[in-house]
């Protein structure tokens, strides 16, 4: 399975107790120039994986060691005027979803917020590093 699939599965599990929120299997496409996560508030959308490979060690025998970083973004938009009382717990549960990805040397996650009109958009970035 892909890291994206595993991440979606873990987010679904982590949000199962938060009935006001859901997760979509769809990519965060735009419809009419508006991202789906902005149209469908309280729904998490997980983007495609971006993979970056770089040489970590250049060995004398020609067997180079590479580091692969997989980055996945997720998006959640909520009504700024009517946020649910459990938004902080939802954010924490989204951040710790990174722990579902195994076989890595480092898993990190962080998020940024953006407010446009009366919608707060949370953009989560997950990074998974393997050697």
Q: Tell me whether strands 22-24 and 30-31 are parallel, antiparallel or unpaired.
A: unpaired
Residue 1 — very low, low, confident or very high, per pLDDT cuts 50/70/90? Answer: low
pLDDT (tens digit, 9 = 90+) per residue, 85-123?
999 999 999 999 999 999 999 999 999 999 998 999 999
Per-residue pLDDT tens over the stretch 39-53: 999 999 999 999 999
For 46-82, the pLDDT digits (tens) are 999 999 998 888 777 778 888 999 999 999 999 999 8
DSSP conformation letters of 65-87: EEEEEEEEEEEEEEESSS--TTH
- Going along the chain from its start, the domains and CATH numbers come out as 3-130 (3.30.2000)
Structure tokens, 23:
């997760």
User: 60 or 131: whose pLDDT is higher?
Assistant: 131
């Amino acid at each position: 399975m892909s890291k994206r699939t595993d991440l979606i599965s873990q987010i679904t599990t982590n949000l199962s107790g938060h009935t006001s929120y859901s997760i979509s299997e769809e990519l965060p496409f735009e419809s009419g120039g508006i991202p789906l996560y902005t149209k469908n508030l309280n729904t998490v959308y997980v983007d495609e994986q971006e993979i970056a490979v770089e040489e970590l060690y250049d060995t004398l025998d020609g067997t180079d060691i590479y580091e692969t970083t997989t980055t996945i973004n997720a998006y959640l938009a909520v009504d700024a005027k009517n946020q649910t009382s459990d938004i902080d717990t939802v954010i924490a549960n989204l951040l710790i979803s990174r722990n579902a990805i195994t076989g890595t040397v480092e898993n990190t996650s962080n998020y940024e917020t953006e407010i446009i009109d009366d919608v707060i958009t949370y953009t989560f970035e997950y990074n998974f590093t393997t050697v």
